[in-house]
Chain A
Amino acid sequence: MLEDLFKVVKKRFNDDDNKAETEKPKFKCPRCQHMITEEHYNELLKVCPDCNYHGRMTARERIAITADKDSFIEFDKDMKSCNPINYPEYEEKQQELREKTGLSDAVVTGQAKIKGSDVIIAVMDSRYMMASMGSVVGEKITRAFETAVEKKLPVVIFTASGGARMQEGIVSLMQMAKTSGAVARHNQAGLLYITVMTDPTTGGVTASFASLGDIIIAEPKVLIGFAGRRVIEGTIKQRLPDDFQLAEFLEEKGFVDMIVERRKMRSTLSHLLKLHGYVPEQEEA
């Protein structure tokens, strides 16, 4: 009791050190509202220490923790979208985002090694227009699969998306057909496709290539769904349970094969690749 009293006093009269501590940027977990400093959150690979929610990462961060060091070779780095329906200020908005994120659109694709096994890898980045799928995402994903067929390689995609890119209208919808067609060809070639669903995987991406993996992995507590939560709540006129559309719910309903923690993702992927015969030429330590 006495101690508690002192704590309060100490808080009220912060010395400079403590002040710096409280002013450090904080991360608030969207699942359990737990607050930690961003510094600590980053140290934990952006996983909430309280509820195990696996937070959003940038594409570069993801590649860094997944691929072997210096093994990543990027494809189509400078591909940029046009404005197919002349949506007002679409170009300006994209230019702004390019400068802010260093990305040219919402997906980074390339070839890499995972513990020595060669893979074609694609990582979506939700900072870029909620990683919505327009012409560039559609084209880069499609090319990734086509390259994988040519080189007889497996594909690993880390999905994250708000869905179709509204600003590209019907052209955006058609990317669902284009990417799924490329998955079909890769599938017919007998090659492995692993989807890793990360936060959030929704809409037109769920309804196309994200749901078509031979193996579908999800990170804990991430949001996965077709329709948006608010849209459904609007239809049924009641609040949905908190766990609705989380990875665990999808696993229970049979739409996710396994939930894998971030710190085990690289080794899990490596084992699955080897089980499918993608054995490294020279295994990395």
Chain B
Amino acid sequence: MKSFSEIYDAVLPILQTFEHRRLAAVAYASKIGRNLLLTTGGGVIVILAFLAASQSPIPLFGLLLWAIIAGIIYTTTVGRSRAEYAAHFKQQVLQEVVQQMEPGMRYTGADGIPRATFDACGLFDHRSDRYHCDDGFRGTIGKTDVFFSEVHAQYKRTTTDSKGRRKTTYHTFFDGLFMIADFHKEFRTPVLVLPDVAEKTLGFLGKKLQGFRPFSKEKLVYMEDPEFEKHFVVYGSDQVEARYLLSTAMLRRILDLKAKWQDDVRLGFRDSNVQIAISHKQNLFEPNIKKSALDKAQIEQFYRELGTCFEIVEDLNLNTRVWTKE
């Protein structure tokens, strides 16, 4: 992979054109803000004059209404302008950084992991009632086909109080990076690697509870690595195949991946792929309009974030093709 300075030099011509765009977007936001402030200030003067003449509160309500409208105008117009800047920035700058780092990969924008695929992954206890995906990347890293994006998924909970009033609330059950990568071994049955919550909190009893899945095809698969067992629980319908996928080296790699991201990591093996869900609260790949487009630190941050995502393929050793699957 190229070094950061090589990539920055390659992206610089695009960044220079974007700096003009950014300045224009900032100037547009200032202009809108100034105009709204002026009209609001004028309104205040007029209302003060009215209040001096009569005690009616109507002009005050009018001013309040105008302040709300002004706020909406500002956030929608300026927000749209900033969103457009961010979208164009990603389409061109991020795309170029990606191309320079991994020529086989491309940025697909909002075309991320489809909701149906996410809901069918089996890595979570909920299906999504609200789903948003952003910043998709697709292509090949080495010999491995990869597709990933940021995903924010929520489930709905409806409660009824003692007076019969229904209240619906949405709760986030996944916010982070979701990746689908071609797995290098052939397999028939799905295997799930989930965080070990029960055993961690309830000990031996928790382990017994984990094993109690009378209506599920996927049964508990006990791994002999105590460190891995401390952090993860594995379910699969074929005890031998689950261990074939999760070799002792792979168990270590998954532990290292968790240590690297320092977050909740889940893996699902199905349909010849490995699906990796990494919770990550921080919104990745977001340009800051307040910073110069030429700002090296910002591009370096993209470089680091992308590098960490691309490295998952190597972290899990997916490019090794010593088995029969090409």
A binds B: no
